């Protein structure tokens, strides 16, 4: 997608001859793997670890300079070949062209009027790069033996991309040649640019992304050098960190879920041509037609000739866009910040609160979100806060009696308060909690706005400062909204206003409906696959390091006989929930009444 490209061109060829010995490189790789395999440092020490890992990575990059395989000319030199290739293989290429939109980079421009909901783009399966096509490629032999590739579709796609890029006869070369040579994800940030994200909620994920990418690179470098099933890969003589960073970023910014040919499950895919579309607010308008076996996209709105054709990537926050897509989206109607909350086990009413929450399908400790729009909290967070602030008598009413089930179902319905006192307590708590989160930042909203206006900054620095500014603006809105609600319910209580009554409940009130659920099969960019898969890949690499001596025995062979038949879906884990569980004992997350 055009916006993600720095469009920095490089000269072709395999680069200069290596000036570093294989043993020296292997020692550096072993050191990097060992450093990245250490436990997550305590609070306040993540930056120190990041700098240390970065120092090792930069040493490796310096010694590998000139070894990456790249293409002649500029990216847009290859667009005509992409269109020709797509047309010859059954994709639609009429009604639009690829154009440069300055700040947003390359995208699709309408060459005729396109009506809202008109099918204007389709891409057949044979053009897609998928986990299935990877298994049928030169990568298949290693895939069949490596449990990490089997478990992590995104990593498989990254290696599929690298192998095909190195093959001058690859079927997908017309597509691969049009991919950006660099990206704007934090993996490409300079150290001083990352510093602008200090104190933000996003910084943890930035550190994690960098550490995991370095860890994966070091692990697979050794696999490629030692595994017998990797002997035929075109990466054996040249597999640089920059290669892997590029492949990971290409996949991270573009991967989507599509159904397998029989429709029985989903798989990951890169979708040529369609992935040139840039993002705007709206609804998901892309799906997969199993009958015709192709990805299809209908127009989000009316587009006139000469206008850029946008699609909606999904309900992502700007932190997700920056970390996984490499851009900040102004006026993001789905922007939000995380808030970790948990019921303290030392709360004398813990057991009752836990039971009410369980009946409502809500964990006692989790990561919720404060939204940029009104209301700032979801139905689920409202339900949690109501239970969190319930008195013993109110808890009993939700556990015992004829109306207990109805009361559970309407916990997330703002129209039916538990009591005026409960509402005052929950909004008072939320106001205080958001205020505390604001105090963790080293700069104010005004500081950031002034800094953006008065300093000549890189595009990455601007992105980082906009992100931290956006987080604080959301928190400030939440504080104001919570204060207004607190005042309103305080007045209702003082006036002795009667509580609204309900006749019947609706289970749908507990959770808002998802806009993109109206399509039977929806394509979603999976930045969260990379994120949610981090814990699993770490665990798997830990196992391989321990069992095969990669850290302490650099010459040990990887036997590659582990079973890896677990389904990709089973490998997904929600890191945010795990983080909440880990931090549920912290005083900042557990609040005693």
* Listed residues 513, 548, 573: the one ending a domain: 513
**pTM for the predicted model, two decimal places:** 0.82
- Exposed / middle / buried, residue 331 (Cβ in 10 Å: 0-12, 13-18, 19+): exposed
- 255 lies in the same domain as 384: no
The CA-to-CA distance between both ends of the chain, in Å, stands at: 49
For the domain that residue 385 is a member of, what is the CATH number? 3.90.1420.10
Q: Are strands 286-289 and 256-259 parallel, antiparallel or unpaired?
A: unpaired
Residue 465: both structure tokens together: 């400062």
Which DSSP letter does residue 591 get? -
Residue 217: both structure tokens together: 């690179």
- 404 lies in the same domain as 551: no
Bridge partners (DSSP) listed for residue 288: 295
Residue 466: both structure tokens together: 């906009």
Is position 580 within any domain?
A: no
Predicted confidence at residue 6, as pLDDT, reads 34
Is position 593 within any domain?
A: no
What pLDDT, in 10s, does the model give residues 98-126?
Answer: 999 988 999 999 999 999 999 999 999 99
Give the three-state DSSP class for 258.
strand
E-only strand ranges, 216-356: 256-259, 266-270, 278-279, 286-289, 294-298, 308-311, 336-342
Predicted confidence at residue 216, as pLDDT, reads 97
Which DSSP letter does residue 51 get? H
Find the domain containing 93 and state its range.
Answer: 2-8+22-315+522-562
- 431 lies in the same domain as 410: yes
Is position 432 within any domain?
A: yes
> What's the CA angle centered on 133, arms 312 and 161, to 5 degrees?
70
- 197 lies in the same domain as 141: yes
Interatomic CA distance for residues 254 and 134, integer angstroms: 16
Which DSSP letter does residue 554 get? T
- 509 lies in the same domain as 531: no
Bridge partners (DSSP) listed for residue 368: 339
* Contacts with 342 (C-beta within 8 Å, 6 or more apart), sequence order: 364, 365, 366, 580, 583, 584, 589, 590
Predicted confidence at residue 542, as pLDDT, reads 53
The ranges of the chain with pLDDT < 70 are: 1-19, 503-593
Interatomic CA distance for residues 404 and 458, integer angstroms: 57
Is position 366 within any domain?
A: yes
What are the residue ranges of helices labelled H in 37-189? 46-63, 79-88, 131-135, 140-143, 147-151, 153-165, 173-176
Interatomic CA distance for residues 441 and 259, integer angstroms: 43
Is position 226 within any domain?
A: yes
Is position 238 within any domain?
A: yes
For the domain that residue 124 is a member of, what is the CATH number? 3.90.1410.10
Predicted confidence at residue 370, as pLDDT, reads 97
Predicted confidence at residue 541, as pLDDT, reads 53
Predicted confidence at residue 40, as pLDDT, reads 84
- 455 lies in the same domain as 539: no
**Total count of domains within the chain:** 2
Predicted confidence at residue 10, as pLDDT, reads 39
Give the three-state DSSP class for 308.
strand
* Contacts with 1 (C-beta within 8 Å, 6 or more apart), sequence order: 105, 106, 107, 253, 254, 275, 276, 277, 278, 279, 325
C-alpha distances in angstroms, 425 versus 134, 362, 409? 55, 20, 21
Interatomic CA distance for residues 179 and 52, integer angstroms: 31
- 151 lies in the same domain as 105: yes
- 281 lies in the same domain as 419: no
- 61 lies in the same domain as 148: yes
Interatomic CA distance for residues 356 and 364, integer angstroms: 10
Interatomic CA distance for residues 437 and 439, integer angstroms: 5
- 541 lies in the same domain as 504: no
Predicted confidence at residue 403, as pLDDT, reads 85
């Amino acid at each position: 997608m055009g916006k993600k490209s720095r469009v920095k061109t490089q000269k072709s060829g395999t680069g200069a001859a290596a000036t570093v010995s294989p043993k020296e490189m292997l020692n550096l790789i072993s050191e990097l793997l060992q450093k990245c395999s250490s436990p997550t440092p305590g609070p306040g020490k993540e930056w120190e670890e990041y700098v240390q890992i970065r120092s090792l990575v930069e040493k490796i990059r310096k010694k590998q300079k000139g070894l990456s395989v790249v293409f002649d000319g500029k990216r847009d030199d290859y667009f005509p070949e992409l269109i020709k290739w797509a047309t010859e293989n059954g994709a639609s290429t009429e009604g639009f062209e690829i154009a440069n939109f300055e700040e947003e980079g390359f995208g699709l421009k309408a060459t005729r009027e396109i009506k809202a909901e008109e099918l204007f783009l389709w891409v057949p399966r044979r053009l897609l790069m998928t986990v299935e096509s990877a298994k049928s490629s030169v990568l298949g032999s290693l895939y069949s033996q490596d449990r990490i590739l089997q478990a992590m579709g995104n990593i498989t796609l990254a290696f599929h991309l690298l192998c095909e890029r190195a093959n001058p006869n690859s079927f997908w070369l017309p597509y691969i040649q049009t991919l950006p040579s660099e990206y704007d994800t934090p993996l490409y940030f300079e150290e001083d640019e990352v510093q602008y994200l200090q104190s933000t909620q996003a910084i943890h994920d930035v550190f994690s992304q960098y550490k995991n990418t370095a860890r994966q690179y070091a692990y697979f470098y050794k696999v490629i050098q030692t595994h017998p099933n990797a002997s035929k890969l075109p990466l054996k003589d040249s597999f640089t960190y920059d290669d892997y960073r590029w492949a990971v970023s290409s996949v991270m910014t573009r991967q989507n879920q599509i159904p397998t040919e029989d429709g029985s499950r989903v798989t990951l895919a890169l979708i040529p041509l369609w992935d040139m579309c840039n993002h705007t607010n709206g609804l998901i308008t892309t799906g997969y037609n199993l009958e015709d076996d192709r990805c299809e996209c209908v127009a989000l709105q009316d587009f006139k000739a000469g206008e850029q054709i946008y699609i909606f990537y999904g309900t992502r926050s700007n932190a997700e866009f920056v970390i996984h897509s490499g851009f900040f989206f102004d006026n993001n109607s789905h922007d939000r910040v995380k808030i970790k909350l948990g019921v303290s086990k030392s709360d004398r009413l813990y057991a009752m609160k836990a039971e009410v929450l369980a009946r409502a399908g809500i964990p006692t400790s989790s990561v919720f979100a404060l939204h940029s729009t009104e209301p700032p909290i979801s139905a689920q967070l409202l339900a949690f806060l109501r239970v969190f602030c319930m008195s013993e008598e109110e808890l009993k009413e939700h556990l015992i009696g004829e109306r207990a089930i109805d009361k559970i179902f309407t916990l997330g319905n703002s129209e039916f308060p538990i009591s005026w006192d409960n509402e005052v307590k929950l909004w008072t708590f939320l106001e205080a909690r958001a205020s505390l989160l604001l105090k963790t930042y080293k700069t104010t909203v005004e500081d950031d706005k002034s800094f953006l206006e008065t300093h000549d900054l890189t595009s990455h620095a601007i992105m980082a400062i906009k992100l931290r500014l956006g987080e604080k603006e959301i928190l400030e809105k939440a504080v104001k909204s919570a204060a207004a609600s607190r005042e309103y319910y305080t007045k209702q209580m003082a006036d002795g206003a009667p509580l609204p009554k309900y006749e019947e409940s609706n289970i749908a009130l507990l959770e808002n409906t998802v806009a993109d659920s109206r399509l039977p099969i929806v394509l979603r960019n999976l930045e969260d696959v990379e994120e949610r898969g981090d814990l699993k890949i770490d665990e798997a690499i830990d196992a391989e390091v321990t069992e095969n001596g990669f850290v302490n025995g650099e010459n040990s062979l990887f036997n590659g006989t582990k079973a890896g038949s677990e389904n990709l879906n089973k490998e997904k884990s929600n890191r945010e929930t795990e983080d909440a569980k880990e931090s549920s004992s912290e005083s900042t997350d557990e609040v005693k009444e």
